[in-house]
Amino acid sequence: MRRTRFDDWPCPIARTTDLIGDWWTPLVMREAFLGRRRFDEFQVALGIPRAVLAERFKRLVAEDMLEKVTPDGGRAEYRLTAKGRAFWDVLAAMWRWGEDWLWDEGDHPPLVLRNRETGERIRPLVLDERTGERLDLRTMKVSRRRADD
């Protein structure tokens, strides 16, 4: 079966889906944010088939989400790029949604996000960077870009 491509659609969600539209890619990126760098570390942590992981790395490097480096002639490592680090916002939104909606009432996920310095729990939230207000579907709409945008 042939995969439908969304990489040239006019919608940011469609284009992002084209990049992360399989279940392994967000998990590979999660592991990169957790500090994994070497192929074997990712493979063991995820239990992902080696061929599948190799394909994901190939795509993430081609998309400039990760860069493949070989420090001092050692084994290859995969490191987050600026574009890859910016992807944390997507994973944080997924984290919050999953935490809020994918556990039975009264149950809680076994993992939480914490501030490195204070140890306080973090609950991701999507805000409008211009106003600092939480996004609310009831107060927004999608429209064509204007010349002054």
Domain ranges of the chain: 12-86, 88-139
- Helix boundaries (H) for the chain: 12-20, 24-33, 39-46, 50-62, 82-86, 88-101
Task: Give pTM, 2 decimals.
Answer: 0.85
* pLDDT score, position 58: 95
pLDDT digits (tens, 9 = 90+) for 21-39: 788 999 999 999 999 999 9
Residue 48: pLDDT band by 50, 70, 90 thresholds?
very high
Q: At 114, give phi and psi (nearest 5°).
A: -135, 150
Q: Which CATH class is domain 12-86?
A: mainly alpha
* pLDDT score, position 1: 58
Highest mean pLDDT among 3-7, 69-73, 107-111: 107-111
